[in-house]
Structure 1
């Protein structure tokens, strides 16, 4: 649908919803108005779904079914009361009203599945925590009283209980959608606003029912009662607007799940949900009679376990990020090899193992020949590509036990444990032959003498490297041993 048509639909819905307050006071007038808006919202959803790929239409069809059934139930309810005299639950309209909850919950579940194919345990814990807290509130003040209401048939009590249970189901799926990753454009928020309006309307009726005489008095106020009805009308209209918006195409796009961090709004919602159980207990203690002790115990236990689970997720996330930071601090960004810090940690350990096992260990220092000239000729991106390709080629040519690290710039170091000078030279020559793009390197080799420090070993290899450079490059030179160990130590 074009933007002008979508705006025309939005303006028309706003006008007819506002005009609901001006209707004559008659059930048939209000029923026709509500059904008309509900069917218009259904038609808008179906029209919007037609523009989507086949695989993305099913969630919207579920939304259309729920809204069509719910709005049609209004006409059936008026007919049952005005013509058939059916006012006691269950009425013929209740099945239509109740279809809204499973149909829309299924649509939300399908949409979430499209957006996040994997399991997002963090979002599931958050949604379960909020739903559990509000579910305990609904049990104490709505579900349990409805299930025990005298003068009503068993089927009537079951239908009365089904409404708050349906609200909890819808709340759980809406919370899960809000915690999912993916695009959050206008269509996303229109859809979320639609289900929020449904829940707000149902919650208002529940609150009025628990206010006793004050609630009955408010229901007798025409503009107030119609204001509650307008919440549901707004829900019908917003669902249609969400489907017509071009952003509906992006709603089912797969995205990575959100990280398990807690924002301020999430923290406030989880805190509020967790405090519902003690708040109910405090209220009943203050009244002098704890009537829902078992439910409060079960709810408190469930909320406690959910909070512990959420904290464990956050701790694991912090630990994972800490490991990543440690790894990044020891890894060269360009080549992915160990950096100088990692090399300085690993070399002393390798020398200590060599001292303990009596096995030889060699170190090589490699430097790409004429790298500055290559950079000046082909540019820095080409130089970076050479460094990455060369390091990958050298790594493949060396032995699995060898450690190649980037020491700085175009200079690399190689740790060759268990290798004497001959085998170390052979491994380094394989790396030299594998150097890509027709480039070469110069290298200095040093065999550890069993007493020198890491810095002294590197210094000998570095001196051999400069000897290779001075001898014409593209070669490997083995370092001479220190002429006098005791003299070297005294310097």
Structure 2
């Protein structure tokens, strides 16, 4: 329906009130769609849509105010009574975007912020050189008019910054997200077209062509409609849904945009050099310096992220995914070090291998998820009974190993008895215990503990057996 209304706009009579009424009607229809869609959402989720509705209402109402001001009062020079309405779009939409960004990314996302700043700085130089700087704000006769003229590109830069940050946010990327992005892009495209025509000095000439003027005005009508389409979509609620933590990424599209923004300063310098006069050297230099610092900051954040990921990979490589305990690799690194410390300090050290009794039968009876829960609960319960200096690791399957520094046979037996009593869900384990003889290798020590484990199983399970050749060591 909205598409038909926009298409029909191209064929309306060339009469101001027809055109004005049609534009305002489409704008207010977009506002109505936003209010209806927001009413369907839970009350806490309505705020950004209300803000979008306020911006669209202000901007579309400005069309009517501009027509009345021109037709009845002859007010066409800046500032007109319509300018506050047109400018009202920017703070309202920026506030709505700020709410969405905050809800989608509750935590600070510095890489996204730096990316948005880089894009905005690059386009900000274009706005300064071709729109803001040429305006003589020092002329007291036209100061308010010039300030009004400057307010539009500043508002566009605000939308560019917020839209860039929204695109770098986490959360759902469903249809409503892209409708919002499309609407904001349409506003920016329309404003940029006006700026380009104005800088070429052909605004009046070009806009005298009805198809050009109506085509350009249709861009803003599309922007009005897309907000309403986004809010009425069934996925509108997901737009403000918090996102899970996700790694900072640099896709090809984002890299291209960042590269393009970073090249704006040298491109402007090249253009002015080719024209024979570098009129904005200081502005270009300042923009280049800011862009350089932003690129350095982005590289630092990226390097820090890579280092953090590398640490996480190393930690994951040494920990068991299910129980969170050290894994076999970590155990194989720790045991030789523990034996060397025991050698230097002339202290005993004990090793135990634990195996949950009848674990396969438990899995077959209750299912593998229940088996995983048993492994997690048992390992946590056993860990709680050990000393801070003791180490428990998952050796594989339902088998665990325990390192007991400075523990003789008696201390090690008591530690294993406490762990056996703490086994949850009415389950038991069999364990083989070996105390280092001061000479054997770590593999030999584990082999003795493993032999004792098999003795425990053969003796009926639910017990701790001490390996031979360890009885000569004092408790």
Query: TM-score of the superposition, structure 2-length normalised?
Result: 0.94
Q: 1:153 to 1:172 in 2, by over 3 A?
A: same
Question: What aligned pairs does 1:118-267 form with structure 2 within 5 A after superposition?
Answer: 118-147=107-136, 153-213=142-202, 215-267=203-255
Match of 2:29 in 1: 40
Q: Is the 8 A contact 1:77 1:93 kept in 2?
A: yes
Partners of 1:52 and 1:373 in 2: how far apart? 50
Aligned-partner SS, 2:355: strand
CA contact under 8 A between 2:433 and 2:464: conserved in structure 1?
Answer: yes
Say if 2:137 and 2:147, in contact at 8 Å, map to a contact too. Answer: no
Instruction: Decide which of 246, 251, 265 is 1:277's aligned counterpart.
Output: 265
Per-residue CA deviation, residues 349-400 of structure 1 (Å, 9 max, x unaligned), is 1112222222221111122233334444444444333322222221111222
Please give the per-residue CA displacement for 1:237-269, whole angstroms capped at 9, x wherever unaligned: 111222222222222222225431111111111
Residue 63 (1) aligns with residue 52 (2)? yes
Q: CA RMSD in A?
A: 2.1
Question: 1:357 & 1:400 partners in 2: Cα distance?
Answer: 19
Residues 1:470 and 1:76: Cα distance change in structure 2 (over 3 Å): closer
Contact kept in structure 1, 2:434 and 2:470, CA below 8 Å: no
CA pair 441-65 structure 1, distance change in 2 beyond 3 A? closer
Does the 8 A contact of 2:436 with 2:470 survive in 1?
Answer: no
Q: Equivalent residue of 1:474, what SS?
A: coil
Q: Which moved more, 1:440-449 or 1:64-73?
A: 440-449
Quote the residue 1:319 is aligned against.
Answer: 307
Give the one of 278, 295, 305 matched to 1:307.
295
Q: Which runs of 4+ in 1 moved over 6 A?
A: none
Partner residue of 1:451?
A: 439
Equivalent residues, number:
471
Give CA deviations for 1:189-211 in whole Å, capped at 9, x if unaligned.
22221111111100001111122
Q: Does 1:112 align with 2:101?
A: yes
2:407 equivalent to 1:425? no
CA contact (8 A) 1:147 1:161 kept: no
Corresponding residue of 2:4: 15
User: How many Å separate the matches in 1 of 2:330 and 2:418?
Assistant: 24
Q: Out of 439, 456, 461, which is 2:427 matched to?
A: 439
Which ranges in structure 2 are unaligned for 5 or more consecutive residues?
A: none
**Separation of aligned partners in 2, 1:258 and 1:481:** 54
How high is the TM-score relative to the length of structure 1?
0.91
User: Shift of the alpha carbon at 1:431?
Assistant: 0.8
Q: Which structure 1 segments of 5+ residues have no match? A: 1-10, 484-491
Q: What's the CA shift for 1:105?
A: 1.0
> Are the aligned partners of 2:359 and 2:398 in contact in 1 as well (CA < 8 Å)?
yes
- SS for the counterpart of 1:334 is coil
